[in-house]
Amino acid sequence: MALLRPPCSSDGSNSKSQVPRLPPLTLSTPELVSEHTPCTLHHSILPPELACRLFYTLLYASRDWKPNKWWLADRVVESSHRSFFFKRGGNGGTEPEDDMTEAAQYWYNGRPTDPPPPFPPPMEEACQIIERIVNVEMRKRRRFPLEWGGYPSTKGEEPLIWRANVAASNCYAGAKETVGFHSDQVTYLGPYPTIASLSLGVSRTFRLREVVPLDERDKRAARTYNIPLRHNSLVIMHASTQEIYKHAVPPQNSIDMFHPPFPPPSSLTDDEEALAALHEPSNARINVTFRFYRPDYHSKTTPRCKCGVPCILRPDMKNRYEDMPTASTVSDVSRARGDSTSNAVPSASSASRPPISSSSKKTMVAKYWWTCYAGAQNDGKGCGVWKVMDIKAEGRGPFVGDIAAMKHE
């Protein structure tokens, strides 16, 4: 009869069941966020009056924002929250109008859209402050080889390595408007992007969960990190966040209403009733994600699939390396590019900076690939095109240091 008995689950034969599952961890301080994730948390990032003015401006504008829609399997699904896309004007916006129009369209999952409007004045004012902080924070960190190499600078000045030129904005009204786990497409951001995410209004939880590499799934499970984001807080998702983690804004059982400490600016509208309504306690969270769309990834260089629409670029999150490439990999990369091996080294300043990750997580992505995205709007049907990104053939860069690619297996 023992032959008919199912094997005992405790005899070690099922190693997957023995992988410990860790409880969610709340990261309530900037120190905890930096310790456990590739992000940094900054409270009271804007002057209080500016934070409130920007909140009012976007809350009033969000009346005309729309939920995002896309095909999933055989049906159309709709986001619970509303979104909008802005481009930066003046010296901050470096891309042509048609390029930003296409970028906005594919922010909305390929849905046709009007050209994005420029940053409203309070957003531009906030962006200048945030841009300075992001550049300071990035200079403290060791850079990844495939990050943007930065704009040229005059002698004696620090190069500007991150310049926000677009802002994707979201309005979450109430505790049940959410967004599920996802990583951001890097189609226009390029590899290892940095994204600055500003929270205004009610406090909501920002959730992170690692995508565990395939070769580690029988050894460990992903842990969920919850970061409470209050009004006027900034999370900088530094390089490797989109390569390692997915993020979400989960539903909550309850929220504390936001009581704006300043009155709305009278310049918003002549409607006194609308102004009075804006000053009432609010259940809304406004999220602004400032992004740098790299000039070497502008829309004219995006491959098209057989459907005739731009592909999207995603990292291979399931296959990662532990750290910087070895000397032999650097040599292989250099030869692939046609450069001399002596030039294919990380930037000189990287040696004196902290490691890319203080944890044991693998942070180096092996491949990025272009895939068909037509199915998001074409009744869920795409052509299935898939190809590995070739940065040499596609003319990408400049990158940090002189390393322009990782060795493809």
β partners of residue 39: 237
pLDDT at 246 over 70: yes
Q: What is the pLDDT of residues 28-66, one digit of tens each?
A: 999 999 999 999 999 999 999 999 999 999 999 999 999
Confidence of residue 69 (pLDDT cuts 50, 70, 90): confident
Name which of 42-46, 97-101, 221-225, 379-383 the model is least confident about.
Answer: 97-101
Q: What's the N-to-C CA distance of the chain in angstroms?
A: 50
5-19: average pLDDT: 55
Q: Provide the pLDDT for residue 353.
A: 43
Confidence of residue 184 (pLDDT cuts 50, 70, 90): very high
Q: Provide the pLDDT for residue 330.
A: 36
Q: Provide the pLDDT for residue 118.
A: 95
Residue with tokens 């990190």: 225
Confidence of residue 344 (pLDDT cuts 50, 70, 90): very low
pLDDT at 328 over 50: no
pLDDT at 90 over 50: yes
Distances (CA, A) of 370 to 186, 188, 301, 363: 10, 12, 12, 20
β partners of residue 286: 171, 200
pLDDT at 334 over 60: no
Q: What is the pLDDT of residues 99-141, one digit of tens each?
A: 666 666 555 555 666 788 999 999 999 999 999 999 999 999 9
Confidence of residue 309 (pLDDT cuts 50, 70, 90): confident
Mean per-residue pLDDT over the chain, rounded: 82
**What are the residues whose beta carbons fall under 8 Å from the beta carbon of 234, sequence distance 6 or more?**
41, 42, 45, 130, 133, 196, 197, 198, 199
Distances (CA, A) of 94 to 105, 154, 262, 287: 18, 19, 34, 23
Confidence of residue 208 (pLDDT cuts 50, 70, 90): very high
194-199: average pLDDT: 98
pLDDT at 396 over 90: yes
341-348: average pLDDT: 32
* Distance separating alpha carbons of residues 340 and 347, to the nearest angstrom: 15
146-166: average pLDDT: 83
Compare 369 and 403 and report the one with higher pLDDT: 369
Name which of 8-22, 205-219, 302-316, 326-340 the model is least confident about.
Answer: 326-340
Q: Provide the pLDDT for residue 105.
A: 56
Confidence of residue 70 (pLDDT cuts 50, 70, 90): low
Compare 148 and 403 and report the one with higher pLDDT: 148
**Which strands sit side by side in the sheet containing 75-87, from one edge to the other?**
39-42, 233-237, 195-201, 284-291, 166-173, 75-87, 66-72
288-297: average pLDDT: 95
* Distance separating alpha carbons of residues 91 and 93, to the nearest angstrom: 6
Name which of 224-228, 235-239, 371-375 the model is least confident about.
Answer: 371-375
Write the single-letter amino acid at 232.
Answer: N
Q: Provide the pLDDT for residue 170.
A: 96
Residue 175 tokens, joined: 């505790």
324-333: average pLDDT: 39
Q: Provide the pLDDT for residue 12.
A: 47
pLDDT at 282 over 70: yes
Q: Provide the pLDDT for residue 384.
A: 86
Q: Provide the pLDDT for residue 92.
A: 52
Q: Provide the pLDDT for residue 200.
A: 98
pLDDT at 347 over 60: no
